[in-house]
Amino acid sequence: MEKTNVSVFLRKYTMIIALVLVVIFFSITTEGKILFPQNINNLISQNAYVFVLATGMLLCILTGGNIDLSVGSVVCFAGAVGAMMMDKNVNVVAAVLAMLVIGILIGMWQGFWIAYVKVPPFIATLAGMYAFRGLSNAVLQGMTVSIKSDAFIKVFGGGADCYVPDLFGGEGFNMTCMIAGCIAVVVLVAMQLKSRINNKSRGYETAPLGSTVVKLVVISAVILWISYKLSSHKGIPTALIWILLVLLVYGYLTTKTRIGRYLYAVGGNEKATRLSGINTKKVYFIAYVNMGFLAALAGILTIARLTSSQPTYGQGYEMDAIGACFIGGASAYGGVGSVAGVVIGATLMGVINQGMSIMGMDANYQKVVKGLVLLIAVAFDVLSKREKK
């Protein structure tokens, strides 16, 4: 029994353990530089697109291990259109709305072919990858377009001054950020306790109180530590606000809504789901519409951070998003995965990128390492399922 419990624990928390070990490894090899407040801030800002895209990719993967290869090109295309609009002095709000609408329309276009025409997602999105990359080049005419709107850059997380201002006017330490971290811990504990009480009152099985307390203590400690580090630099980067907003909304969508349950059901057994009266075509369509919307948001965050738009932006983004999902525990067969897992996977990818960059490792070898990490994560998923059978 004890051996079984240990194996279940290891299977459940493998990627968290891996994340901790990776952080320790890079802390040693970089002489602690990776844990500097500025580097933690850079980790968040530079990987904002990964968190956003991986959240959308999770919905696609849940439907049966399907992916979207076009997201990098959609990021580039949406960003290119927005940059050109702002360059021609179009209102910033109008430009942002246009980018989001473009993302939704692209999601509807690809969702139509996948859900209703039954074109395999790999082929449909591969076509999109080529098409929207070409359109990006056509819009930008092969040139770089600079973003001149300071308001856009500050709101969506680009530049050196894109932080939530300290309401207490402190110097050297951002009290607003630290207080926000404390509030987040209180809300987390309250929600977990309320959920536990509700489950017990309804007769549902609950985890042992001891393990729940340990989990809450660990998560709370991590939140407070990150809050302290960010407070020691400049505070909360605006990119983090957008990341948290996406994670909270889609975390709720996947766990508390009907469409969330349908996504898991389709991935678990599409035929049985269809026979139970659920419109599986609509589920596929919604998954890819959401992916298009989040790809456009990632495009907004990308051009804001880089303060420009180029035809090369977004290259490889699809692989980072897919990798974050699988590393975070999403199943290559569909029906398994969570937004919390996406956070772990995206963070692990970000730490690996950041650590290797600080070490001065060649970019080509960085790709090798990321490829091996992805292969190991998927292999672990396959072997775990084989062991259960």
- This model's pTM is above 0.95: no
Q: Identify whether residues 243 and 192 lie together within a single domain.
A: no
Q: Which structural domain range is residue 350 located in?
A: 6-162+239-383
Say if 306 falls within a structural domain: yes
Residue 3 has pLDDT above 60, yes or no: no
Mean pLDDT across 369-378: 80
Domain contains 208: yes
74 and 38 in a common domain = yes
Q: 382: which 2 tokens?
A: 């396959």
CATH of the domain at 154: 1.10.3470
> Do 207 and 91 share a domain, yes or no?
no
Residues 65-106: pLDDT tens digits? 899 999 999 999 999 999 999 999 899 999 999 999 999 999
For every residue of 59-92, DSSP letters joined together read HHHHTTS---TTHHHHHHHHHHHHHHHHHTT--H
Q: Is residue 140 domain-shared with residue 175, that is, in the same domain?
A: no
> Is 1 contained in some domain?
no
CA distance 232 to 253: 34
Looking at the fold, whether 291 and 308 belong to one and the same domain comes out as yes
Range among 68-72, 205-209, 379-383 rated most confident = 68-72
Q: Closest Cα to residue 49, out of 237, 317, 288, 249?
A: 317
For residue range 161-194, what is the model confidence (pLDDT) as tens digits? Answer: 678 888 877 677 888 889 999 999 999 899 888 8
Same domain, 223 and 275: no
Average confidence (pLDDT) over 249-267: 92
Within this chain, do residues 83 and 207 fall inside the same structural domain, yes or no? no
Separation of alpha carbons 358 and 339, rounded Å: 28
Q: What is the pLDDT of residues 7-41, one digit of tens each?
A: 666 666 777 888 888 889 888 988 888 888 888 88
For residue 274, being part of any structural domain is answered with yes
Q: Give the residue from 363, 329, 357 showing the smallest Cα distance to 43.
A: 357
Residue 389 lies in a domain: no
Strand ranges inside the chain, DSSP E: 145-146, 308-309
Quote the percentage of the chain above a pLDDT of 90. 46
Last residue of a domain, one of 209, 236, 263: 236
User: What is the predicted pLDDT for the residue at 1?
Assistant: 42
Same domain, 105 and 174: no
Check whether residue 94 and residue 147 sit in a common domain.
Answer: yes
**Do 219 and 243 fall within a single domain?**
no
Tokens of 350: 């970000």
Q: Does the residue 70 lie in any domain?
A: yes
Q: Which of 206, 236, 266 is the last residue of a domain?
A: 236
Same domain, 150 and 196: no
Q: Does the residue 388 lie in any domain? A: no
pLDDT-based confidence at 157, cuts 50/70/90?
A: confident
Say if residue 281's pLDDT is above 70: yes
* pLDDT tens column, 44-65: 888 899 999 999 999 999 998 8
Residue 2 has pLDDT above 60, yes or no: no
What is the C-alpha to C-alpha distance for residues 31 and 51, in angstroms, rounded to an integer? Answer: 27
The whole-number average pLDDT for the span 317-337 is 88
Domain boundary among 236, 258, 273: 236
Residue 352's region, left for phi above 0, alpha for psi from -120 to 50, else beta, is alpha
Number of domains in the chain: 2
Same domain, 249 and 323: yes
Pick from 110, 107, 134: which is nearest to 122 by CA?
Answer: 110
pLDDT band for position 158 (cuts 50, 70, 90) = low
The residue with greater pLDDT, 296 or 192, is: 296
| Alpha helix segments (H runs only) across 202-279 | 209-233, 238-256, 258-268, 270-275
